[in-house]
Amino acid sequence: MSKTLYDYSATGIDGKEIPLSTYRGKVALVVNVASQCGFTPQYEGLEALQKEYGNQGFSVLGFPCNQFGAQEPGDAEEIKRFCSLNYGVTFPLFAKIDVNGSNAHPLYEFLKSEKAGLLGTEAIKWNFTKFLVSPSGEVVKRYAPNTKPEEIAGAIEKLLKAKTSARDLEPAPAT
């Protein structure tokens, strides 16, 4: 059986290990983020998606990364403070990771192998690369850093609708 998002775990920004199976049944948008990047204002759009769809079974999962131009130099407390104060981030943030190279987090090795980037390259090119994951944990699509979060809303809605309609088809439990 092939792997899914739910076969991995990651350290949360508070230092606790979080099995990603916690998000089973949800649509997820996994993003490598940074505080000092030209794309950093996308935090606003990511948070807007979280607010719009969070109560419908969606979550952004933010993974700080310092591999691109040293644009995420802060420690966990600085990252949390920055995201909270500047963008009111409520979606889950994880501990800083590598997304490329020999120390790349296993989750990112999986994501990259499932959906290659431009011209079939697997490497993450920059901060704010986004992976849309279905409720079953399968990687649906990879988005470039310059794809604005609001441009992904339609795809999120489709996955949420498919999830909802499938749930609606299940017979009601006997009473």
Per the annotation, the verdict on 37 as an active-site residue is yes
Which of helix, strand or coil describes residue 141? strand
Residue in 37, 61, 79, 133 annotated catalytic: 37
Q: Where are the alpha helices (DSSP H) in the chain?
A: 42-53, 76-87, 106-114, 153-169
CB atoms under 10 Å from CB of 91, counted, come to 20
Q: Which residues are catalytic?
A: 37
